[in-house]
Chain A
Amino acid sequence: MDTWLSYHLSDFMLFSERVYWRLFDQINSLVGAFLPAVIALGCLLLVGVWSRHRAVQIATALLLAAFWISSACLFLWLHYAPVNWAARYAVPFFLLEAGLILLVGINPQLNRPLTRWDARGSVGFVMLVYAVIAHPFTSLMFGRPLGSAEFVGLAPDATALATLGYALMVASNKALWLLLPISVIALALSGLTLYTLGTPEAWVIPIALLVTLATLFSTKPLADATNTAPPARP
């Protein structure tokens, strides 16, 4: 134990910032011609979260769950694990998150009422829009080529940010405890990685996490069941 305690975080950062961003280059190249389709599927999330149809709600959850699985396979397993051996240990948690999203998606009791633009829903939607549309362009803001852009469904950060948004919009109070922990931990670890690499984008993740937590603690708890009829007036 003493030996392990003698290591610093930077001792485990065994790859350079350049190598890290090139991982996304490789994934985007691997997907190649299908990249527009992946982006389009990401945009479907933005529509699906507003739907009141059960089939669409389930399809949306299925899509987001599939994104976690594809991120685990393409990023963690195929590309990240060769440069960071710890990455493979995250794969089961990504698969678990996919399962939890499905569980919440198919169980109406774990959904919150989708009735209006309340604070939590609004913040959630903004987060989702950021993850799907704006986050990929942060690469350009910091002088990286668009080739290394992080897309929902391929890159874990974008996928986890989308999940924060999805959870804020869709999940009941109880279900938030199912959906948020893995996303928050994944983002926190990623933020720590970016911070240790010294990349300027490191600030994006803590802001997203702070916004999520601030939203949760500042908004009134909502009724847990969805599609419930309003109480009958006397």
Chain B
Amino acid sequence: MKRKFPLLTAVNTLIYLFIMAPLLVIVISSFNPGEYLVFPPEGFSLKWYEAVLTGGKYTEPFWNSIKLAVATTAVALPVGTMAAYAIQRFEFRFKQALLSLFLSPLVIPTLLFGIGLLIFFSSLGVQMFFMRLLLAHIVLIVPYVIRTMLAGFSRMERSVEEASIVLGASPVRTFFLVTLPLARPSLLASAFLSLVLSFDELVIALFLTGPGITTLPMTIYSDIQFNLSPSLAAISSIIIAGTVLVGLIGILMTKRSGRT
């Protein structure tokens, strides 16, 4: 039996258009040759891409954001994976309470967390701005890693790990040689999620940053408010393309290693 839903399809096509519209508008207006941001563009030119890629004010914030995303992932991935493994594989008291505590940064508004940290770091006199941002990002990302890894570990066959133990491998050896390779799809998914979320984070950065360190979302945020320009559209398009690319690679790798 095959039913069709012509009305539903028509409505959904409009909604897909709604989803894509803002992204398409940015990409299209980035090709405008003129000095001002207009839509539709009055011509076709790649000069703003050239301007953005060969230097300019977005370069340094871009590298700051990359550094932050990589450092966050490097800490949050092992920390979150360890916690998820403990919760999934061991029985102990207060397990549910601990899990809720670990996931609570997803529930508490980032805004509150931002003010709380600003007050906290100021009262301690912590001036290392990169460190401040890094710590905050780790707290925000670890719950995502834990959630993804919990799902991954729970899908895994325990018998393989048990076989490894029975055959004489130590628990630590088993974890590194059996468990982690089996959890590769979830590890990859966590890493991609962490990189993208950390790269895009704005609210915490607005609260915690200080002189000398600006992240890319902060620069874009302030340019949207005070300096709308085609080069802003160009850098935004580059980020859109990069995010879609990273997302697709992540999904494809996760799917492939999930199958084998």
A binds B: no
Which residues does A use to contact B, with CB under 8 Å? none
